[in-house]
Structures are given as structure tokens and as C-alpha cells.
Amino acid sequence: MTPPNKHEHATLDASDKKRLIILVCTILAFAVMNGTMFNVAIPDIAASFNLSPSEVSWVLTSYILVFAIGSLMYGKLADIYPIKTLFTIGISIFSLGAFIGFLSPNYPTLLAARILQAVGGATIPALAFIVPIRFLPKEKGRVFGLISSTVAFASGVGPIIGGVVGGTLNWRFLFLFSVATALAIPLFRKWLPDEEKREGSIDLPGAALMAISVASLLFYITLLSWYLLVSFIVFFILFLWRTFTIKQPFIDPVILKNTKYTITVLTSFLGTSALFGLIFVIPIMLRDLNELSTLNIGLVLFPGAMAAGLIGQFGGKIIEQKGATVVVKLALILIASGTFFISTFSGYNAWVIAPCLLIAYLGFPLIQSSTADLLSTILPDNQNGVGMGIFNLLNFMAGAFSSAIFGRLLDMKNVSFVMNPLSRTNDNLIYSNLYLGLSLIAIIALVIFTLKFLSKREKSLSESPVS
């Protein structure tokens, strides 16, 4: 009899695999664009309901908060319940929330719709990274590359689509993209293999403590109120206490004791933080130093997003041929190089910045795909769901950290010290310093990762006595 903590890999033929990969990537693109499309619609939503900036910001904040926590929860659920069932429930809730948002007569209804969307939509990225592990184990490196490229491409294209649809029609029509995801439900029901429910249970009190601590931290990052930091510390300590004192905690502490796992997710967090910092600061810099319009800023960003969308197949092949550790290092080198070049050339013509941005953008799908592939080999089958859930949660938190921290740093005035001696010393100084900081973050991640994942030959050379 097969042990309950093991997952049997279903046998799929080549055509089934191709259809499943296309379906997962398509639905993931819709989910990612749902988040980024609304960024450009915020002014229109505020005008429609006569909202202040702080009020309308909850359209994005509430979605990100619930989405981040949900990605961890669905990862845990995937260790117990069939993926087909979770996709069906999640996409149904996601589409329902979008339909309510399209019809929303007032702001509270719109906010409820966005939260409902996040509750359901969190299934999509959470399960997208688990599907290759569960059903496509031999091709997972290549599939992770495609998935990560989809995320990078959709992140770049989303604001452009949002601007076009919102500008020509109305911001409400952005919700119809999400309503359309309901069409994928029968395809998932047909193409995903059947699975039995596995033994296990959800530690609901532990999940609640984790959710409250994460929410407190994300709110603290945004609002910088001391009581939120105290709330995070208290609830996180309670979560750790429960995790180490009950038999079946929400997160198995064995995962946290696995140093290869923790170093890999830390590497992903640092690399993703640098990328989100790049994405957050670059439009502000192009508007401030180059005086570009929103459309022209989008045109500067678009080549990088396109290149990131195309690099996934290449990155996936390197993962399969050379291993994920090689691609992790390559991704961090690209991120560090691109941000260093932007630090050096900030203040130059925007078309000098574009190729520098493209170099850094290439690291986006590579860091995601390579760390996801590495995690799938580090963890046993019965921990892959929650392990990938933590991975997704930290990636979302990386975005929140970067936006809050670099937003605060951009408020600094009269910066006089020069971190990059190759840069111009004029109005670009704050941007030059910030981008050099991003480069250093990527280098730190590279050093930490390299020290942990030395090859056997490198280890033997480093441990051999010097004659």
C-alpha cells in the first residue's frame, strides 16, 4: 500500500502535457495581469467614488494582503486535497469576485469584490508552481521557466492593457478579463489527473496566527505604525510556540530546519526584492529625471518585459542541462549587473537606460524558475505544497518590502554622498545610490547562495589543507 504522504506522479502523454502547460500559463497570465492592470486604473476608481488617495489604495493593498496569505494557505491545502478540486473552487471564487467588481455600485462593494478575487485568485500562482512537480516531474525545469516567464511578461504587459482598456472604455471592463477565467474550469476538470484526498489536517489556529502576523507585518511596512510591529512580534512568537509544541502544525518545523531550503527561499526573497525595487523606482526616476509621459515610460519598460517573457524557455533548458544552481547564480549576476549599469547611467537619455533595464529584467524569470526547481528537489513530496506556499508568500512580501522601503528612501532630500564613483553627481544621486544598493542586495544573495551550494569539487578544494 502506498504511504499516505507520498504523491504518485500521473502518467500523461505528450499532447496532454502540452495542453496542461498552455492552460496553466494562460490562467496564470490572467491572474498576474489582474493585479498589475489596476495600478493604472487607481486614479479613475478614485474619481468614480470620490475617494482620497489613502482610501483608494486599499483596492491594491487588500488584494495583495489576502493574495499573499492565500498563496501559503493553498500550498498547504495542496498537500492534502486534489489540485483539480482546489483550482475549481479558487477560479470560481475569483470569477465571482470579478463579476461583482464589474457591477459594483459603491466603494465597499468594490473592496469586497477585490478581496473575494484575492481569496480565489491566490490558488492560481500557488498551484501553478505545484502542477509541474506533481504531474510533470521530468519536464519541471522547462515548465518552471515558462511559468516564470509568464509572470514576468504579464507583469509588464498588464499596465499597458490596463491603460488601453481603462482609457478607451472604463476601469470596470478590466474585471471582465478575470470573469473570463471561469472558462478554464471545465478544461482543468478534464485535463488534470484525478487524485485521492491524502491524510492530513489543517492547523486552523496556527494558520490564523500566521495570517495575522503576516498581515501585521505587511501593514507595518506600509504604514510604519509601532503597534503593528508589536502585533507582528506577538503573533509571530505565538505562531512559533504553537508550531513547535503540537504534533501537526500548520508549517512543519522540519522544513525550517532544512538549511538548503531556507537559504534557497532567502536567495529568492533577496533577488526578488531587488527586482521589485527596480520595478518600483524606475518609473519614478524616468518621470523625475527624463520627464517622460506614462506612455513613454511603458515603452521603456516594454522591451525588458518582452525579453523576460521570451527567456523562460532558454532558462528552462539550462536548468535541465546544467542544473538549477547554475541558473540561480546567472540570474543574480544579471540582476546585479543591470542595476549597477542603471546606477551608473541614471540621468542619461532613457534609451540608454532601456538596455540596462533589459539585462536586469532577464533575471526575473530565471530567479523564479531556478529557485522553484531547486526547492522541488530539496523537499520531499509531502512537503512540496507548503514549501512552495512559503516561497510564494515571501516573493509577495518582497514586493511589499521593496515598495515601502524604497518609497521612504526616495523621500530623502539633499543627498550628498556618492556610492557609485562612476555616476554623475547631480540630480540623479539618490537614484544612483538606490540602484547600487539593489546591486549589492543581489551580490549578497549570490555570495550566500554560492557558499551553501558549493559543488563537491569546490568543497573538497576548499577543505583540503594548504601545503
Average pLDDT over residues 365-380: 88
Name the residue with higher pLDDT: 466 or 385: 385
- pLDDT tens for residues 165-201? 877 888 899 898 889 999 999 999 999 988 888 877 7
Average pLDDT (386-405) is 81
Question: Which of 18-22, 72-76, 328-332 is least confident?
Answer: 72-76
Question: Which residue would you say has higher pLDDT here, 209 or 250?
Answer: 209
Least confident of 269-283, 380-394, 400-414: 400-414
pLDDT of residue 10: 58
Q: How confident is the model over 19-35, as a mean pLDDT?
A: 89
Does the pLDDT of residue 460 top 50, yes or no?
no
DSSP annotation string for 377-432: HHS-GGGHHHHHHHHHHHHHHHHHHHHHHHHHHHT--S----S-TTS-SSTTHHHH
456 pLDDT band, cuts 50/70/90, is: very low
Closest C-alpha among 89, 87, 119 to residue 101: 119
Q: Answer with the residue of higher pLDDT: 348 or 237.
A: 237
The alpha carbon dihedral of 15, 20, 21, 27 has a sign of positive
Reported as a pLDDT band with limits 50, 70 and 90, residue 412 is low
Task: Report the range out of 153-157, 307-311, 314-318, 326-330 with the highest average pLDDT.
Answer: 326-330
Rounded mean pLDDT of 318-338?
Answer: 91
* Burial of 348: CB neighbours in 10 Å, binned 0-12, 13-18, 19+: middle
- What's the confidence (pLDDT) of residue 429? 81
Residue 98: what pLDDT? 94
Side-chain-side CA neighbours of 262 within 13 Å: the count stands at 7
Q: CB-based contacts of 347: which residues, under 8 Å, 6+ apart?
A: 289, 423, 424, 426, 427, 428, 431, 432
| pLDDT at 109 exceeding the cut of 70 | yes
Average model confidence (pLDDT) across the chain: 83
- Does the pLDDT at position 339 exceed 90? yes
Confidence class of residue 104 from pLDDT cuts 50, 70 and 90?
Answer: very high
**pLDDT of residue 55 exceeding 90:** no
pLDDT surpassing 70 at residue 306: yes
In angstroms, what CA-CA distances link 390 with 76, 97, 176, 179? 9, 25, 30, 28
The model's confidence at residue 1, banded by pLDDT at 50, 70 and 90, is very low
Residue 367: pLDDT above 60?
Answer: yes
pLDDT band for 5, please (50, 70, 90 cuts).
very low
Whether residue 427 is predicted with pLDDT greater than 70 in this model: the reply is: no
89-100 confidence digits (pLDDT tens)? 999 999 999 999
pLDDT exceeds cutoff 70 at 366: yes
DSSP 272-300: HHHHHHHHHHHHHHHHHHH---HHHHHHH
C-alpha cell at 245: 509544541
**Between 142 and 330, where is the model more confident?**
330
pLDDT at residue 53 in the model:
66
pLDDT over 90 percentage in the chain: 30
pLDDT band at 2 (very low <50, low <70, confident <90, very high): very low
CA–CA dist 106, 102 (Å, integer): 11
pLDDT tens figures, 443-455: 999 999 999 987 5
**The model's pTM:** 0.80
pLDDT at 11: 64
What confidence score (pLDDT) does residue 230 get?
94
Residue 251 has pLDDT above 80, yes or no: yes
Whole-number Å distance between alpha carbons of 374 and 210? 25
* Distance of alpha carbon 76 from alpha carbon 447, whole angstroms: 31
Nearest to 91 by CA among 131, 125, 120, 130: 120
What's the confidence (pLDDT) of residue 332?
A: 95
How far apart (Å, rounded) are the C-alpha atoms in residues 449 and 336?
Answer: 14
